[in-house]
Amino acid sequence: MAKRSDAAARICSAEAGRVISSLSLGQYLATKIQFGRYALAEGQASTGAHGDGHQVRRFNMVDGRVAIVTGAASGMGKAIAARLDREGAIVIATDRTIDGIASPIGTGSHGLFEKLDVTNQDDWSRVAELANARFGPPSILVNNAGILHFSALLETTTEQLRAIIDVNLIGAFIGIRTIAPFMAAKGSGSIVNICSIDATKATNGASAYVASKWGLRGLTKAAALELGPLGIRVNAIHPGGISTPMVRDAAMTDEAFDAIYHDIPLQRAGLPEEVAEAVLYLASDRSSYCAGTEILVDGGATAGKYYAQLPGAPPFASP
């Protein structure tokens, strides 16, 4: 089984891989090979000491860009805000409840932790104007805020459906409509909508959630068409089973939660930080030719089905 500790280690080594040593070509190539990826020079470079005492240059992917992240008090939103912050963005992390919750923004950063109810236009306008006045027009919007409700379709009330649609779909719509004009005025921007693999299929017991995420997937495509000519890229990420407070019982161990996903190729749940890496890619210029793109971060859950009676099936495949 692929362990979540291994995944966390790979995330750390990937960050290290974007360090360029200011030494000889041979030493640089050795560093590149060691970390397994090229270091692309994007954004403003920061300097620090390499393990051998030499100075190195690290290039932040979204340095100086103003980013708004919704649903950032916990889970994926918290990881996304922290990741963008570490890459040099000025992050306005938001959530509808922030009292008594530690900010996901690092100490010494220039960002903010602000209250935002994504269903409220006045809240969106206030946060947008605050960001623009203090830091400049937003360059990045991550529509991450979402809620989940489990009930059988025939037992789901209209009020429950509307509550989920309001947050998961209409909230993102209001956010795009509010923030996009700031991006259009400067001719560039990146909007990332956090959808779900339930926007590529369905799950029983979650009809309202599934409907909201399919709607968000469609909104992503429509927005990509209309906003692309204005210099704004709109893309979506479809997370699979991610270990977050929204879907995981607080008393459940990592092993017990991973066991739920034993029958997918990577045999474990995902980490919020793994979703954040995909967001960083779409928020940065590395994805400059991506518009209407969908990235699945699901451990292979939607890749297909194992048939135990056929060659190539793993030992855990059901007969």
Q: Give the whole-angstrom CA distance, residue 208 versus residue 96.
A: 21
Chain position carrying tokens 């991450």: 144
Sign of the C-alpha dihedral computed for residues 18, 21, 22 and 28 taken in this order: negative
Asked about 306 being catalytic, the answer comes back as: no
289 phi and psi, to 5 degrees?
-110, 20
Q: Give the whole-angstrom CA distance, residue 129 versus residue 45.
A: 29
Q: Give the whole-angstrom CA distance, residue 47 versus residue 55.
A: 7
Q: Give the whole-angstrom CA distance, residue 147 versus residue 164.
A: 6
First to last CA, the chain: 19
- What is the residue type of 99? D
> How big is the CA angle at 225 (ends 236 and 195), to the nearest 5 degrees?
15
Residue pair 226/183 in contact by the 8 Å Cβ criterion: no
Q: Which of 28, 38, 209, 307 is catalytic?
A: 209
With CA atoms as reference, report the closest residue to 195 among 279, 126, 262, 127: 279
Q: Catalytic residue positions?
A: 209
